[in-house]
Structure 1
Amino acid sequence: MRITRLFFGITLFISFLTVAQDKAFTLEEIWGGAFSTERLQSLHSMNNGKEYSVLERDNTNGDTSIEVYDYATGEKANTLIKSSNIEDLKHIQGYEFSKDEKRVLLASELEQIYRRSSRGIYHIFDVPSNSSFKISDKKIQSPALSPDGSKLAYVMDNNIFVLNFVTGEEIQLTDDGKKNEIINGITDWVYEEEFAFVRAFDWSADSNKVAFIRFDEKEVPEFSMDVYGAELYQKQDVFKYPKAGEKNAKVSLYIADLGSMSLDKINLGDYKDFYIPRIKWSANPDILSVQVLNRHQNNLDLIFVDAKTKTPKIVLNEKDEAYIDITDNLTFLEDNSFIWTSEKDGYNHIYHYKETGELINQITTGPWEVTDYYGYDSKNKTIFYQSVENKNINRDIYSIGLDGKNKKRLSTKDGTNDADFSADFSQYINYFSSASTPFEFTLNNAANGEVIREIKNNQELKDKLVQYDLRPKEFSTIDVNGETLNMWTIKPKDFDPAKKYPLFMYQYSGPGSQQVKNSWNRSNDYWYMMLAQQGYIVVCIDGRGTGFKGAKFKKVTQNDLGNLEVQDQIAAAKQLGALDYIDASRIGIWGWSYGGFMSSNCLFKAPDTFKMAIAVAPVTSWRFYDTIYTERYLMTPQENAKGYDDNSPINFVDGLKGKFLLVHGSADDNVHVQNTMRLIEALVQKNKQFDWAIYPDKNHGIYGGNTRLHLYNKMTNFIKANL
């Protein structure tokens, strides 16, 4: 009797485990944050190299504080600042130390403008005196402390101001700033979005000079967007947006000398219709580096400007048949020689140049890409970087001598490794994840990569996921159109190769992108697992034009976006459809943004291959998109009309036979809803039936409240009804 009971109990236990491990994912859980990973908050490595600071929030009273911790032990060293101790400060939302760490810039009441820009209320906290003051009652943009911590530069109402803490004086450097006309010291919409920076000014090393870029956008065409809100009348957001082939803002460079109280416009040379994607003072306080890029973005001059004589000198020139990527990797050494990254040998690598621009040596080399540059340890003459040397779906951390010798792989686990180094480069925090392991954070020795201690490991999430039918990603390759492409596959549990399964394809496919990578799940991955639980096979393939396989593979789509990439997805679908276990009559595809452009084209151009497609926030004609991104890959419409029109989904709606879902946010400042409206009109005039949804006042991300949940319910129902 006991044995029977025990056996019955064991049977129940096994049965419970089986049920628990078969738990299905739900959209409410996925978009409710049930599977969020525990992350490390953004940290600042203190100058001593032994401690770091983080911003923390007390959930009981909402108070925020800057806490200092010991790297080696993880123990709290001290509380530097508490928001409740500072008058007029609601909550700290961000902070920045002066170089000597005696002053801290505190951000609060931040108001988002576009993707990277914001304005807010800022305070200065003086560490030695334990005192603080508010900079302005008005919200300001992009404040930056001078290297010596004695001054602050910031932008308000498109003008640059400098506040001197020693004298108490506020100096207004410019007075011509005006919305939709003149911008000083911060970027316009297209620079912010495509060159990925907002603060367009920089302090010299001696804290006496400010260099800045001025944008004259008076001739740039305006874009207007209705914001419906909850009032009786909608409002209109109007800003300058240069679409492909239209006029850009005219940019110019200025240097303000605070000692002589002079402001000088710098004549960079005989450039016409050009970009200034980066400015940066060198280690020499009189030498400013300026990057000047032609409109086609295939010719880059690195210019050194002598601040005393105001004379420019080209020290380095980069040319490319296609385009040149802009980075933040330029690093000046003490002797004003500099580190630079380039694709000039066909792969992205690190180079060391003299101050004159003469090449000293190529530091990294090989048929693989450097994917991140972490910095230079001057004491040990060592560079730290991340690369895809260990298969391009992985990321590893490496060190190498400035002379290109003594290279070491510091990370040991296959997957995605990223690093945050201490100020003295003696140690680093390793951020690791893989497709099977959620984020793990360890403190590591920078000399050899050895783990000093574990910080976090997301064990709670691992334990929770044991209950679920977690569908693993199977990484593989597929040979398509003469290329070997990376692919992942998610299959249903109890997959039976004798059965037939519908196939659902996801892709993005934009230039230099990567979706097939060995890293932990994002929310979409749980959705794909949910679909697999419901009997679908889900795949993702990175076709030609995607990144991290060398410049030739990435740039093969130049001047012809949406042709080879679409061919690859169609050919892959046909090849997969020929497999015994795939139902070739039930193949669907989806994507967002560039991926929506792709999925639309696939459905319209291969109606006998794809049964259905979903396009979210798609570009439907590159004529509607911005100058910097579009012309980088297609030149202007005036120069390459064929490249724009031969692959525009609007021109191929005749081919629609399957089921099509089209989705957009009405307040998308990036890919304007105009794209979807024009595609809708083309479909209507061809009497093509389709489904569509517009999300009011939602931007390119289409989120907020229950918006994502609603969208993914809609997409899931569409897939189940039509695939």
Structure 2
Amino acid sequence: MHRCLLSTLLLPLIILAADKKKPEFGPLLSLEQIYEKNEFNSKGYSMKWLNPGQGYVRAEKSKETKDAQDIVQYNPATGRKNILVMAKTLIPKGEKKPLKLNSYTFTEDLSKVLIFTNTRRVWRRNTRGDYWVLNRDNGQLKKLGGDAEESTLMFAKFSPANSNHVAYVREKNIYVEDLGSGQIRVLTNRESDTVINGTFDWVYEEELGLRDGYRWSPDGKAIAYWQLDEEGVPEMNMLNNVSGYYPKLITFRYPKTGETNAIGRVGVVQLEDGQTTWMKVPGDPRNHYIARMDWADNSSQLLLQQLNRLQNQNKVMLAEVRSGKVKTAYTDEDQAWIEVRFGFTQWIEKGKQFTYVSEREGWRQLYFVSREGRKARKVTEGKYDIIRVLKLDEVSQLLYFIASPDNATERYLYQIGLDGEGLKRVTPLGQNGSHSYSISPDAKWAFHTFSNLDSPPVTNLIELPSHKTVRVMEENQVLREKLSKLKRPQTEFFRIKIAKNLEVDAYAILPPDLDSKKKYPLLIYVYGEPAGQTTVNSWRGSGGLWHWMLAQQGYVVMSIDNRGTTAPRGNAWRKSIYRQVGILASKDQAAAVKQVLKDRPYLDAERVGVWGWSGGGSMTLNALFRYPDLYRMGISIAPVPNQRLYDTIYQERYMGIPKDNEEGYKKGSPITFAKNLKGKLLLVHGTTDDNVHYQGMAKLIDELVANKKQFEMLAYPNRSHSVREGRNTTIHLRTAMTDFLRRALPVGP
């Protein structure tokens, strides 16, 4: 008895001693660690470059004011810092706490700073809120907007010529406010509720990346702006079933494929008299898109880019702001489509030439175009794509851009002379993965961030063009230590041959203790649409760690990029899916899965699953419905079951106008083949998804029911396309996905 008592007394001491030695993180990941406790979140390094010679600024925790941030200026050469704005100077009169810094902008002389705070979400981003101006010379803090309602101002900007003038958009009109006198003038007019000035409708924002819809002239005497009129655009209705006892109707204009677009035009309003001159751009304004607009290196002309509705022609135009007369300087054409989102426009040689990115000769390259359009000289040559142009520096006569000529899954910094000579990789060798850069205005410095599938981001300050590291800004050391304690999966990038002279890129995440004599279930993570690429060798955050967790549990996770994705493999690769989205891509995916099953005997052909989100959700449906004997389960989140239900700009860009491609739309839509479902399917959708509407999910469910097909379904009320709003939504979704996967595609013998 005494021995037992002694053992009982000693046991807690032994456990306590063991607990002290036990690592904080066990060898296996859990959903709670990843999505609830956020124990593996990586850190970035947020900053903003100032004008040449002024260094950079960033918001940092204030030492004097609790729960607040100062704005600090840094000298990149020495690292010396100077507090430009102390948090205590941002406390409004009568308040106790300083303004929250959502974003901020300085005047060129740093005498004033514009603070954006109290923000609200508009579709994707928080672009609506309150603006305040702090005068650093006298400490005066002033709220803009006069009697404007809370959080109704957008895109406030100082005049480039007079820091006492600030323009902003308020309730779809453009205003200018004089900080000295306090006078507020409305510069635009809304003749009806369907008119939008200085910002955009849903589809322009989502598919052309346009939000801020006005530009100050360099001399500060005029403002150029977009105006849209949504009259005639069909309305989309969604229901909010959560906020009260009765559902609330959410209505907005949304042009589905083949339907009527908003009228788009560009005008220039003179501050002197408030009169707008409209640019006389030819063509039906409902069936053309003014996709880009800015001042043409002076205050008398604008440079416009006009896409036709098919988006296979881009006319670059010069517009006279006083008369509105327009002249086409350059025309770019493609047999499929043109992507303006990869463009880069900068004036050089004192306005004699401008830059333009085109795929017209088979690869995405940079051209110099003369102001009048008589000459177009290609600067970059070779069989490689410019992924993104970062900086053109006339002083050093160098162009910096991201490319990866030898490996479409990686990203590196390159430079070339403006004469087209001296192509050189700037990123050092031996750092395989993805590299991104924020280059200073004078091209002497850059913040360089590097990561890969196995390693979280490291951010350094470097010198250019040497790429010499000046100092490490963020290396995520704490996260690295946590990851080092895990039972790490194996990762690899490889190519799969799916036809003669055709290979596709892929990566695999393998169980840590994979035994090639055993059989493992295969889960494919897919996107496959022409708006993205999954096989990029970069850190994947929480989504990547979920895949790690599955690999730890015995799953093999792979991702494959079919033809038609944005991979830097040439124009022919990307445009091969024109007018057949969903058809060729799912064929490539299936061919790759079949081949990898042959190449790797440890993969179980009877346990193949697929999952994806948005376009990947559509591809998941295509996989299960078109190849029901290959895929045994799928998780489809926020898919587009019927391409006719998506918007004009995106879907018509890749599929053409519905009346000209009825068969393509039908065969490319997963709902057409829903009757073929054999495997287990989990459908997930947010009921107020303004992007990919719940309507499509309802139609798919109706079709599955009509064909006696069983499935599981999660409808998240009042969630958008990201399915992230509301308490515990993300952990709930990931738990549901994991549980379904374990049931439908179990690990083990």
TM-score where L is the length of structure 2: 0.91
- Identify the residue that residue 646 of structure 1 maps to in structure 2: 667
Deviations 1:368-394 (A, max 9, x none): 111111122232222221112242211
1:389·1:396 contact (CA, 8 Å) conserved in 2?
no
After superposing the two structures, state which structure 1 stretch, 584-593 or 475-484, moved more: 475-484
* 1:288 and 2:292 are equivalent in the alignment: no
- Offset of 1:185 from its aligned partner? 1.0
Q: Give percent identity, aligned residues only.
A: 33
1:44·1:54 contact (CA, 8 Å) conserved in 2?
yes
* 1:561 and 2:581 are equivalent in the alignment: yes
Q: 1:557 to 1:623 in 2, by over 3 A?
A: same
- Identify the residue that residue 96 of structure 1 maps to in structure 2: 105
Select 1:124's aligned residue among 130, 133, 149. 133
After superposing the two structures, state which structure 1 stretch, 481-490 or 502-511, moved more: 481-490
Rounded to whole Å, the distance in 2 between the matches of 1:659 and 1:61 is 53
1:472-551 paired onto structure 2 within 5 Å: 472-482=490-500, 483-547=502-566, 548-551=568-571
Rounded to whole Å, the distance in 2 between the matches of 1:398 and 1:133 is 45
Select 1:112's aligned residue among 105, 121, 129. 121
Deviations 1:384-437 (A, max 9, x none): 211122422111112222212233322112211111112221111111111222
- Identify the residue that residue 293 of structure 2 maps to in structure 1: 279
Select 1:255's aligned residue among 243, 268, 274. 268
- Identify the residue that residue 401 of structure 2 maps to in structure 1: 385
1:97·1:104 contact (CA, 8 Å) conserved in 2?
yes
* 1:575 and 2:595 are equivalent in the alignment: yes
3-state secondary structure, aligned to 1:425: coil
1:169-318 paired onto structure 2 within 5 Å: 169-176=183-190, 178-179=192-193, 181-271=194-284, 273-318=287-332
Rounded to whole Å, the distance in 1 between the matches of 2:418 and 2:526 is 39
1:158·1:178 contact (CA, 8 Å) conserved in 2?
no
Aligned amino acid, residue 73 of structure 2: V
Rounded to whole Å, the distance in 2 between the matches of 1:270 and 1:78 is 52
Rounded to whole Å, the distance in 2 between the matches of 1:623 and 1:595 is 17
Rounded to whole Å, the distance in 1 between the matches of 2:440 and 2:139 is 25
Rounded to whole Å, the distance in 2 between the matches of 1:289 and 1:261 is 22
* 1:56 and 2:97 are equivalent in the alignment: no
Q: 1:340 to 1:302 in 2, by over 3 A?
A: same
- Offset of 1:518 from its aligned partner? 1.2
- Identify the residue that residue 410 of structure 2 maps to in structure 1: 394
* 1:330 and 2:348 are equivalent in the alignment: no
Q: 1:346 to 1:117 in 2, by over 3 A?
A: farther
* 1:708 and 2:726 are equivalent in the alignment: no
Aligned amino acid, residue 446 of structure 2: Y
Q: 1:462 to 1:17 in 2, by over 3 A?
A: farther
2:505·2:560 contact (CA, 8 Å) conserved in 1?
yes
Rounded to whole Å, the distance in 2 between the matches of 1:94 and 1:253 is 28
- Offset of 1:669 from its aligned partner? 0.5
* 1:450 and 2:490 are equivalent in the alignment: no
2:597·2:603 contact (CA, 8 Å) conserved in 1?
yes
Q: Tell me the matched-pair count.
A: 709
- Identify the residue that residue 721 of structure 1 maps to in structure 2: 743
- Offset of 1:603 from its aligned partner? 0.6
Select 1:87's aligned residue among 92, 102, 105. 92
3-state secondary structure, aligned to 1:654: helix
* 1:375 and 2:391 are equivalent in the alignment: yes
After superposing the two structures, state which structure 1 stretch, 254-263 or 506-515, moved more: 254-263
- Identify the residue that residue 434 of structure 2 maps to in structure 1: 416
- Offset of 1:499 from its aligned partner? 1.1
Rounded to whole Å, the distance in 1 between the matches of 2:25 and 2:732 is 27
Question: Which ranges of structure 1 fall in alignment gaps of 5 or more residues?
Answer: 1-12
* 1:319 and 2:333 are equivalent in the alignment: yes
- Identify the residue that residue 10 of structure 2 maps to in structure 1: none
- Offset of 1:90 from its aligned partner? 3.1
Rounded to whole Å, the distance in 2 between the matches of 1:465 and 1:572 is 31
1:64·1:83 contact (CA, 8 Å) conserved in 2?
no
Aligned amino acid, residue 549 of structure 2: M
Rounded to whole Å, the distance in 1 between the matches of 2:88 and 2:228 is 36
Aligned amino acid, residue 417 of structure 1: H
- Identify the residue that residue 609 of structure 1 maps to in structure 2: 630
- Offset of 1:595 from its aligned partner? 0.6
Rounded to whole Å, the distance in 1 between the matches of 2:211 and 2:641 is 28
1:594·1:618 contact (CA, 8 Å) conserved in 2?
yes
- Identify the residue that residue 708 of structure 2 maps to in structure 1: 687
* 1:597 and 2:618 are equivalent in the alignment: yes
Deviations 1:295-321 (A, max 9, x none): 000111111111233211110100111
TM-score where L is the length of structure 1: 0.94
- Identify the residue that residue 76 of structure 2 maps to in structure 1: 71
Alignment RMSD: 2.2
- Offset of 1:132 from its aligned partner? 2.5
After superposing the two structures, state which structure 1 stretch, 326-335 or 421-430, moved more: 326-335
Deviations 1:672-695 (A, max 9, x none): 011111100101111111100101
Rounded to whole Å, the distance in 1 between the matches of 2:484 and 2:226 is 54
- Identify the residue that residue 34 of structure 1 maps to in structure 2: 39
Aligned amino acid, residue 720 of structure 1: R
After superposing the two structures, state which structure 1 stretch, 454-463 or 655-664, moved more: 454-463
